[in-house]
Structure 1
Amino acid sequence: MIFIDPHIHMTSRTTYDYMVMRQYGVVAVIEPSFWLGQPRTSLGTFKDYFSSLVGWERFRASQFGIQHYCTISLNPKEANNEALAELVMELLPLYACKEGVVAIGEVGYDEMTAAEDKYFREQLELAKELDMLVLIHTPHRNKKEGTSRSLTVCLEHGLDPSKVIVDHVNEETVKETLDRGFWAAFSIYPQTKMGNERMVEIVRQYGCDRIIVDSAADWGMSDPLAVPKTAQLMIERGIPEALVRAVCYENALKAYSQSGQIKADDWLNSSPIDQQQLFNGNSVLRGQKPVVETQRESLIIE
């Protein structure tokens, strides 16, 4: 079985993680713009970060046979620095339309402040203007209220729920998210957002329609193998393989392929790995012997 991890912050992960993820069947990742653990203080830091998402990270992933995509946004936590937020908002359109950008996100609420609401709404309007998908970050505190409010705001701005992926969903928010027509993404993040035993029961109760599994792995205590591990646990717990494939691969592809930026052929017929390649003169290797495939083994079985 092959997998997509549609929410993972690879900027904060090691190159070794890419190698192991590919060994476990991960063929594509989506990296949302997010807070790096320390507030950014100037526009240049955002510009460099966005540039790395559409540049270096795409290259680094490709060196291990993984296709890399991203979402671009001013994240909710940093929306509260309004002077800087205004500058970042001017920068977003320059990156939102670059190759490999599949959505505006993560947007939404952290503490549900007035500033967060302002820039959330402005970015929804940007997504409408550019005809882009939206990735919603739901808050870790006041989860139910924050999620419900996020969905309502999206509808107030005339967004089609089928083009909005709501992330960090859990047991108390899944029903409303699905009932209102949105995609429900679950982050398998140890001891906080969602454990994979709980995820098994979600799929057992709700099935697979519009449900997506991701890792949200970042610089915290997180697991970049959360998607394949969850898939394996589901199979061991008796979830039909078709449902597992849907929530761990097909639904992410179906949701994000609406962007026109991602398609299965990107990895089913990708170029052979050549770690002799450089990005702006730089290699992913540090003296190791480069892997050079003469011919990439096809994932297609005829």
Structure 2
Amino acid sequence: MRFIDPHIHMSSRTTDDYERMREAGLVAVIEPAFWLGQPRTHVGSFIDYYASLIGWERFRAAQFGIKHYCTMGLNSKEANNEALAEQVMEILPRYLSKEGVVAVGEIGYDDQTELEDRYYRAQLQLAKEYGMVVMVHTPHRDKKQGTIRSMEVAVEMGLSPSMVVIDHNNEETVRAVLDRGFWAGFTLYPQTKMGHERMVDIVRQYGSERIFVNSSADWGVSDPLAVPKTARLMLERGIAPEHVHATCYANALAVYGQSGQFNESDWTQAEGVDQRELFEGNSVLRGQTPRVDQDAIADQ
């Protein structure tokens, strides 16, 4: 089986993770712009970070046979720094039309403050103007209230639910999201958020329409193989293969494919890996023998 992880923070992971992910069947990932673990203090930090998502990280993933895409946005935590948020909003539009950018995100609420609401709305407006998909981060606290508020504001701002992914769902929020016609993402953490067993129960109860899973693997305790592991458990527990395919591959392709930047042919017709390639003079290898696939040689 092929898998897509539609929410994973690979800038926080190692090349070993890329190797293990490819061996497990992951063919494509989407990396949302997010909080780095401590507050950024200058707009230049955002500029360099956004550049890395469409540059170095895209190259690094390709060196291990994985297609890398990203989303661009001002995260909810840093929306509370008004002066910095204003500067980020000025530079954000220049990145929305870059190659490989499939959505505005991850945006939304954290503490559900007035500033978070202001910049959530501003970025929804950008998504509307650019005709882009939106990835919404739902809050860890007061999750159901924050999730419903996120959807209500998106509709109020003129976004179609079919263009909005509500992420980090759980049993408390899934029905509200599906009933309103939004896409429901589920983040699978080893110990918190949703677990593999609970995800199996979700699919058994609700089916697979507009539901998909991700790892959100970052600098914290997380697992970049969460998607294939969940797929395997679903099959073991008797979930029909078509539901596994939908939740671990096809639904992510359907929603983010609306961007025009996320196409199955990107990986099914991809050239082979050639680790002799460099990115601005840099290699991922550190002196190791490069992997060069035969079809990469044939294309030269």
| TM-score, normalization by structure 2 | 0.98
**In 1: Cα distance, 2:190 partner to 2:89 partner:** 33
Q: Secondary structure at the match of 1:31?
A: strand
Matches within 5 A, 1:232-271: 232-271=232-271
Counterparts of 1:271 and 1:78 in 2: how far apart (Å)? 39
Question: In the aligned structure 1, how far is the partner of 2:155 from the partner of 2:283?
Answer: 45
Please name the residue that 2:177 is paired with.
177
1:263 maps to amino acid: N
Structure 1 position 107 matched with structure 2 position 95: no
Alignment map for 1:27-66 (pairs within 5 Å): 27-66=27-66
Q: Report the alpha carbon displacement of residue 228 of structure 1 after superposing the two structures with TM.
A: 0.2
How far is 1:87 from its partner?
0.2
CA distance in 1, matches of 2:162, 2:264: 20
| Residues 241-272 of structure 1 deviation map (CA, whole Å, 9 limit, x = unaligned) | 11000000000000100000010000001011
Shift of 1:295: 1.8
The aligned counterpart of 1:23 is 23
Which residues in structure 2 correspond to 1:85-104 (within 5 Å)? 85-104=85-104
> CA offsets per residue over residues 179-222 of structure 1, 9 Å max, x none?
00000000001221100100000000000000011001100000
Runs of 4+ more than 2 Å apart: none
Partner of 1:299: none
Structure 2 residue identity aligned to 1:154: A
Match of 1:128 in 2: 128
**Structure 1 residue 71 corresponds to structure 2 residue 71:** yes
What CA distance in whole angstroms lies between the structure 1 residues aligned with 2:201 and 2:93? 40
1-side partners of 2:241 and 2:295: how far apart? 30
Moved more, 171-180 or 186-195: 186-195
Look up the equivalent residue of 1:28 and give its one-letter code.
Answer: A
CA distance in 1, matches of 2:190, 2:157: 34
What's the CA shift for 1:167? 0.3
How far the C-alpha of 1:49 sits from its partner, in A, is 0.1
Asked if residue 148 in structure 1 is aligned to residue 148 in structure 2, the reply is yes
Aligned equivalents of 1:154 and 1:178: distance in 2?
Answer: 15
- Deviation readout 1:274-299 (Å, 9 max, x if unpaired): 00000000001111110000127xxx
The code of the aligned residue for 2:201 comes to: E
Give the deviation of 1:7 after TM superposition.
0.1
The residue number in structure 2 matching 1:294 is 294
Structure 1 counterpart of 2:159, which letter?
L
Secondary structure of the 1:27 match is strand
Partner of 2:165: 165
Tell me the residue number matched to 2:274.
274
Tell me the CA shift for residue 18 of structure 1.
Answer: 0.5
SS, match of residue 40 in structure 1: coil
**2:244 is the counterpart of 1:228:** no
Q: Which whole-Å CA distance do the structure 2 matches of 1:249 and 1:91 have between them?
A: 32
Cα RMSD of the aligned pairs, angstroms, is 0.6
Separation (CA, whole Å) in 2 of partners of 1:268 and 1:166: 28
Q: TM-score, normalised by structure 1?
A: 0.97
Distance in 2 of aligned mates of 1:261 and 1:113: 33
Count, aligned residues:
296
Point out where structure 1 has 5 or more consecutive residues left out of the alignment: 297-302
Q: What percentage of aligned pairs have identical amino acids?
A: 67
Counterpart Cα distance in 1 of 2:90 and 2:132: 17
> Which amino acid counterpart does residue 278 of structure 1 have in structure 2?
L
Distance 1:231 1:198 in 2: 13
For residue 101 of structure 1, report the CA deviation from its aligned partner.
Answer: 0.2
Q: Which amino acid aligns with 2:202?
A: I
